[in-house]
Amino acid sequence: MKNHTLVLLGATALSLLSGCAKHDAQVTAQDVDAARQEASKEIDQARAEASKDVKSALKEHGDHADVARAKATADFDVAMAKAEGDHKVALEQCLTLRLDERQPCNDKAESDYDAAKTQAKGMRLARLQ
């Protein structure tokens, strides 16, 4: 009788835990969607700010070098906003994975983010020379 009770308690505990895991996955999926929306919003803001900066450089200076510098900086800012947004989304997506899959996913997210930053910096540097 004691074994039967322990088995029932164990089964109940497992079903509760699986229900919690399912709920966590749903919340995390919502978090991924929220991160995507936030990233899109930040990219749009960076593009709007970049456009204003380039227009301002055109009005104030009209000098080709100043305008080119403003465009390079604006494009860099947009690229960084995209890289940061993609990074946040990737990290949220990692949270939807099994525990043993999260660290490799996080490592890839960090690697992709570092590569995007390096590419953005290289693009800005090339355009400023």
As a whole number of Å, the end-to-end CA separation of the chain is: 82
Domain count for the chain: 1
8 A C-beta contact, residue 76 and residue 37: no
What 3-state class would DSSP assign to 63?
A: coil
Domain that holds residue 124: 23-128
pLDDT by position in tens, the chain (length 129): 555 554 444 545 445 444 444 455 566 788 899 999 999 999 999 999 999 988 888 888 667 888 888 899 999 999 999 999 999 999 999 999 999 999 999 999 999 999 999 999 999 999 988
CA separation for the pair 61, 44 (Å, rounded): 26
Task: Give the Cα separation of 106 and 102 in Å (integer).
Answer: 6
Evaluate whether residue 97 is within a structural domain: yes
> Would you say residue 36 lies in a domain?
yes
